[in-house]
A and B are shown apart, each in its own frame.
Chain A
């Protein structure tokens, strides 16, 4: 610390009447002049205005000041403004501090006298602080300008394309053998009814062909270390038993494979072979062997795929492959799943064959689905004459399932009812709903179209669904007439709640926070919706909450833009207001290591090999001060919040 005293200027802002309406500013100025050693004390109507900033700069130059206190609003608003202003004339910005006399003083009282007293005191404490502020320089961190996108659904694809287009390399990671995500399973999309595959596959192909994108499908993350700009990620590509460099996706092996198992892509409504491609347009266009069901791998017999492969691509000694990636930013586009069937027992879901969820009905409607686009029901393949759609199945249900609205179901139910009636002209479509929420471009018109085309909407909840003969009986309430309703349906479609794909364990691995339901939490719900509080992690699509396709895509572009902004410079600046260690005092007790929430502290052994001390990993330190409070000997000190400064401030504060 410098021994000679700083020449400090104090600038008291009126903020119109925001401050001056309660605080007697001229009186504050007078008192400060009388009782402090500030070199100059001046007030101004709006310090943050250009003339206000000029006044500060001119005064500093004229009076040869080396520190400044601006008494105004919260530092979250204008600290940056004033620090930049003083830096422009050669003063270290960390020697300029804010005394908050608005949020913490004028706004919280009508008592003018007390407000004036308190404002004076606040400013006095900050003058004391600036007296011992050291000049600090931001820490510079190199940035690896390469991004990792986790999840290859439509959101992940969009993020990857946008970042790649800006010129940076991207790795697009997907746990399934193909990218495409949930959107590739949909039939047609609301409210324009264009074919989902037709609008998605060009994007999938573009992602595959883009020179800046590396696809890593059938892969999962094992571990992540590092920090913003400098992550190290261990990725494991699961064993495929097929050499993808040799495989051409010709499907001859698929034709020859003798064993069939339930097809996940068709939600179990049809069967696939054990060696399989997820769907015809899969990207990459490659096959994998499902080891758990393979006759050769389980029982040692068969090998028909190997015999018939013209490219000798079957690789029985294949293993999991682990790669370590170095990336600067990670975008989480992990998407959603539908609610576990166990939670919908009273609707018979999972037990009754003719009760399906929205995604299964999408496959039933899909031209490439299990029934090639004809609407048939799973139990016997009959064309259902009467279909009941149940909205909010597990959504908006605080008692039994999820309290939130899944947002997309009102529209996709309307779409599914329209599509059903297009395919089965004489069919009856009945929808149970709580509210129909149509907030979106063209959504209300689309809902109107569903009702105009003959879909019957009943306002009320369904209480029970059960089988009677080959019919599915739906018990519900019509809350408009107040009557109990019983419908004999052929098929029931549940608009099941969306739930996050990302597990708790995965979130813990990343150290990214989730809300009570498991959706990733954004840094700020309004102003920072695509960032997380963990530096370098960004959110896209339904990983953050229920979203439809246009919303997922626009959020994806938003996340990409944030990554591109991060990559715009080769280095990152990290705030220098962080902790330090006085190595002469430190005994290496490691108490601070346990309390540090950012893993920013570690033990180091000095060159003589004897003394252990603690070292701060500066880029990880966020300057929270937990270590300074915990250190028993005062060796951990927060820069510009040193014990001496705080003691001085408390002393003036208590005068």
Chain B
């Protein structure tokens, strides 16, 4: 079986176990082993934009070096990890960064040439496995389920650095759901900010951001939302309790719906871990 280095990141080990476990399990079904790095550390969580960022960049780069023991590609799932790992590598190996690069090497145990490519699991599904192939592995067709694919900002921007999908109209997750039989919906806030860490000190501001997104999704008649990022999931799921309007909209990780379609065990899917209980919806649609 094809092995790809896998970096889960801190949140996927704790709050977002369902994002992580569903990914590992679905990959297995699709013929790819997501092999976790032997040792790894925090990616840094937020891409550093300070002038002297050497110390901040060492952490993500160490993970990229570790990945080389397994493969040249490093798969991630959390949008924040994906953003930080990808950008740190790029910043280090920009042509004009020669001196910076040499300085960084002083802090690393191994010589590193910048050739670890950070990819998102969605990209693995699209490019390594292929949506057509994915379609043929579907056990439980998601037809009748209208899904709003919410990408958040970190996967898409800065677009010239992330180079993930059209930053104004991303379609990768939507295309995946089409392959699973679900109906993707169009809404204008696919890449808008969920409020992010602002939640910690200004919860009202963050909640308003999340509410704007949900309002536009509810207008489309979507049954549920799929996200790639633990923080997005938290902000638009848990914060529904603080919103001035009741949406009662289940918020999934995209790997949960993928797992559902590929027929993995309900225990792994872990639908317990949500603020808005998704089970009534799934029962109504005949999916569980």
Q: Which residues of A contact B (CB under 8 A)?
A: 345-346, 348, 351, 464, 466-469
Contact = CB atoms under 8 A, between A and B. Distances in A.
B234 to A, nearest CB: 24
Interface of B: 166-169, 188-189, 216, 219
A609 B107 CA distance: 73
Contacts of B188: 348, 464, 466-467
B219 A345 contact: no
A51 B168 CA distance: 72
Contact of B216 (A345, A348, A351, A466): A466
Counting chain A CB atoms within 10 Å of each CB, the highest count among B188, B189, B216 belongs to: B188
15 contacts: A345-B166, A345-B167, A345-B168, A345-B169, A346-B168, A348-B188, A351-B169, A464-B188, A466-B188, A466-B189, A466-B216, A467-B188, A468-B216, A468-B219, A469-B219
A351 B168 CA distance: 11
The B interface, classified by DSSP as helix, strand, loop or mixed, is loop
Contacts of A346: 168
B164 to A, nearest CB: 14
Minimum-distance CB pairs A-B, first 3 = A345-B168, A466-B188, A346-B168
Contacts of B169: 345, 351
A467 B168 CA distance: 14
Nearest to A348: B188
Contacts of A468: 216, 219
A338 B188 CA distance: 24
Which of B166, B167, B168, B169 gathers the greatest number of chain A CB atoms within 10 Å?
A: B168
Nearest to A473: B188
Nearest to A466: B188
Contacts of B219: 468-469
Given A345-B168, A467-B188, A468-B219, 6 more contacts: A345-B166, A345-B167, A346-B168, A348-B188, A351-B169, A464-B188
A464 B189 CA distance: 10
Contacts of A466: 188-189, 216
A467 B216 CA distance: 9
A104 B189 CA distance: 62
Contacts, number: 15
Contacts of A345: 166-169
A354 to B, nearest CB: 13
B137 to A, nearest CB: 32
A528 to B, nearest CB: 37
Contacts of A464: 188
A181 to B, nearest CB: 31
Contacts of B189: 466
A394 to B, nearest CB: 13
A346 B168 CA distance: 5
Contacts of B168: 345-346
Contacts of A351: 169
A469 B168 CA distance: 20
A467 B186 CA distance: 11
A348 B166 CA distance: 13
A348 B188 CA distance: 9
Nearest to B219: A468
A466 B190 CA distance: 12
A330 B169 CA distance: 43
A642 to B, nearest CB: 45
Nearest to B191: A346
A633 B286 CA distance: 87
B88 to A, nearest CB: 21
A462 to B, nearest CB: 13
A468 B218 CA distance: 11
B216 to A, nearest CB: 7
B157 to A, nearest CB: 11
B148 to A, nearest CB: 14
Contacts of B166: 345
A467 B188 CA distance: 8
B268 to A, nearest CB: 37
B99 to A, nearest CB: 26
Contacts of A469: 219
A281 to B, nearest CB: 39
B121 to A, nearest CB: 25
Contacts of A348: 188
B189 to A, nearest CB: 8
B283 to A, nearest CB: 32
Nearest to A347: B168
A351 B166 CA distance: 14
A467 B219 CA distance: 11
Nearest to B159: A400
Contacts of A467: 188
Nearest to B158: A399
Nearest to B168: A345
Nearest to A352: B188
Nearest to B167: A345
A391 B216 CA distance: 27
A348 B187 CA distance: 11
Nearest to A469: B219
B108 to A, nearest CB: 33
Nearest to A399: B160
B209 to A, nearest CB: 12
Contacts of B216: 466, 468
Nearest to A345: B168
Contacts of B167: 345
A464 B187 CA distance: 13
B93 to A, nearest CB: 22
A346 B191 CA distance: 10
A211 B250 CA distance: 75
A346 B159 CA distance: 13
A486 to B, nearest CB: 10
A577 B188 CA distance: 65
A113 to B, nearest CB: 44
A464 B193 CA distance: 13
A351 B219 CA distance: 17
A351 B187 CA distance: 12
A466 B188 CA distance: 6
A627 B188 CA distance: 61
A466 B169 CA distance: 12
A352 to B, nearest CB: 9
Nearest to A465: B188
Nearest to B215: A468
A166 to B, nearest CB: 51
A346 B190 CA distance: 11
A339 B142 CA distance: 39
A466 B216 CA distance: 10
A488 to B, nearest CB: 14
B166 to A, nearest CB: 6
Nearest to B160: A399
A353 to B, nearest CB: 13
A468 to B, nearest CB: 7
B213 to A, nearest CB: 12
Nearest to A343: B168
A378 to B, nearest CB: 18
Nearest to B166: A345
A487 to B, nearest CB: 15
B243 to A, nearest CB: 18
Nearest to A342: B166
A348 B216 CA distance: 15
A327 B25 CA distance: 72
A345 B169 CA distance: 7
A467 B166 CA distance: 19
Nearest to B170: A345
B177 to A, nearest CB: 19
Nearest to B189: A466
A348 B169 CA distance: 9
Nearest to A351: B169
A464 B188 CA distance: 9
B222 to A, nearest CB: 15
A351 B186 CA distance: 11
A466 B166 CA distance: 16
A83 B2 CA distance: 79
A123 to B, nearest CB: 46
B208 to A, nearest CB: 12
B68 to A, nearest CB: 33
